[in-house]
Structure 1
Amino acid sequence: MKQKNNGSKGFSSGILKAVHLLAVIHFVFALYYDSTYVHFPSTKGTPNEFGGKLKYLTICNVYLQVVYFSISLINDFIGTNEYHPKKAPTVRKVKDYLFSSMCFPISFNVGISFWGIYIVDRELVCPEILDAIFPLWLNHMVHTNIMVFMILELFMLFRNNTSHSKSLMGLLSFMCSYLVWIHIIKHYSDDWVYPILEVLPMSVRIAFFAGCIALAVAFYFLGDFLNKMVWAKETRLGQHKFK
């Protein structure tokens, strides 16, 4: 009897559901702890509550992870993880689009940018004085595990990527909206969200923003490349099937 293709490389549906549920619990707990116990002062030494925690791209991304893995869990129960379903349900289409266009590139943008600057000069992104407020384990939950779960998801499940134009439009819309948002915060609070922005001159700051967007786009294409490499055989079968 031929085994039904579940769209994964040997992972049972039970394992997929368990991983997705674990991811939801993991990121929900990170958001709960952060909102309840972590309160950053502004660079001027006074509390900066304007924009709440959503002024941080890291937290925006964690919310995005909760949405994505919740949709993935729903898809595990009522959708499909088959490689090339004849008619993919909406929940599957949304899941595949979110992963490729936003979740993977933004997670790697956040993680690599944070740890890259942290290694060079941690005071620019996470001053040592904040360790008592923002513990190392939480730091890894929101800056390291976001990449771990994305890599795990990429290797566990095949996805049908949408066109580059649609995916990049979603990614660029998200990134540009966030840049507008942090300027709104700066206008009303007179405080940059990230300490590094305080020390950069205008020209370098503009280059920094452009670099952040370019990095996100680069990670989008990295995710697309890895997906095609890991799932090369399944992609070719789909192309043959729908000729």
Structure 2
Amino acid sequence: MKNTCVKTFHVTFCALYSYGVYFSEVHLHVPLRSPRFGILGRYKYLTHWNLVLQAVTFTLFCVADFAPRRYKRWLIPVRDHLFLSLSLPLCMFVSTIFWILFFINRELIFPVAIERFYPAWLNHLSHTAIAFTAILEALANHHKQPTRKAGFATLLTFGAAYLALIEYLGLVHGIWVYPVLEVLSSVAFCAFLGFCMLFIFVFYVIGEKLSTYFWPEGRRYSKDD
């Protein structure tokens, strides 16, 4: 029964996240703040990067659920590493940062002017459901924890890639992806990005602790596994 529920959960959110990516890229038409903002489309935004990541992660969950046993030997370690190193901490980070900024001053992250163009269901799928489904996945399934060094390296690579994109768009094209970045001084800008990088690693450790709490019999990958 549990196995059936888990598979249903995976298939359902694989479909929802995949549709969210499709809708966001094909049917979502939010007025641009300037013509320059057309560069890279939705792929300027961490929210969209994460939405794509969730679609990929839940697709991998489904593949691992239904794949023949001989393929699970390598599928499951890939699934577990992706989920615990990247998907779980990123979901908690995106959801927390979005709603903190939203309640402080929504114009810094999700201006009222774009609300009528951005469906409420997509907003909550991208900024609310992600944290709940990630934590539920950690609760429902045992994922073997990678070494912290390997997990940090994966998360750092992802974070550095996105920060490089933000800097490139801002310094080369004059595009600051989020309104909050436009109002910060140079010092505050660096401090904010540094805080965000620190914060996401805090969420990595929280995710690690959650996984260990839910599945105390779990152990890390080692060279002997």
Matched, 1:15 2:5: yes
Aligned to 2:45: 56
Segments of 5+ residues of structure 2 without an aligned counterpart are: none
Retained in 1: the 8 A contact 2:84–2:208?
Answer: yes
For 2:205, the aligned partner's letter is: F
Structure of greater Rg: 1
Identical amino acids, percent of aligned pairs: 29
Matched, 1:123 2:112: no
Provide the TM-score with structure 2 as the length reference.
Answer: 0.92
Superposed CA deviations along residues 38-92 of structure 1, whole A, max 9, x for unmatched, are: 233444x446111221110000001111111111111111266xxxxxx961110
Matched, 1:134 2:127: no
Aligned to 2:170: 186
- Aligned positions, number: 222
Runs of 4+ with deviation above 4 angstroms? none
Describe how 1:58-77 pairs up with structure 2 within 5 A: 58-77=47-66
Superposed CA deviations along residues 14-33 of structure 1, whole A, max 9, x for unmatched, are: 22221111111111111122
For 2:139, the aligned partner's letter is: F
Describe how 1:145-184 pairs up with structure 2 within 5 A: 145-184=129-168
Retained in 2: the 8 A contact 1:41–1:48?
Answer: no
- CA, structure 1 residues 226+79, in 2 after alignment: closer, same or farther (shift >3 Å)? farther
**CA–CA distance in 2 between the matches of 1:228 and 1:128?**
40
Partner SS state of residue 132, structure 1: coil
Aligned to 1:30: 20
Partner SS state of residue 48, structure 1: helix
**CA–CA distance in 1 between the matches of 2:30 and 2:109?**
12
Segments of 5+ residues of structure 1 without an aligned counterpart are: 1-9, 81-86
Aligned to 2:202: 218
**CA–CA distance in 1 between the matches of 2:132 and 2:56?**
17
Retained in 1: the 8 A contact 2:145–2:218?
Answer: no
Partner SS state of residue 192, structure 1: coil
**CA–CA distance in 2 between the matches of 1:99 and 1:112?**
18
**More helix by percentage:** 2
Retained in 1: the 8 A contact 2:31–2:114?
Answer: no
- CA, structure 1 residues 189+39, in 2 after alignment: closer, same or farther (shift >3 Å)? farther
Retained in 2: the 8 A contact 1:55–1:193?
Answer: yes
Partner SS state of residue 177, structure 2: coil
**CA–CA distance in 1 between the matches of 2:100 and 2:14?**
26
Q: 1:235 aligns with which of 212, 215, 218?
A: 218
Superposed CA deviations along residues 126-176 of structure 1, whole A, max 9, x for unmatched, are: 011111111222110100011111011011100111100000000011001
**CA–CA distance in 2 between the matches of 1:119 and 1:20?**
31
Instruction: Give the Å deviation of 1:183.
Output: 1.5
Provide the TM-score with structure 1 as the length reference.
Answer: 0.85
For 1:23, the aligned partner's letter is: F
Q: CA RMSD in A?
A: 2.2
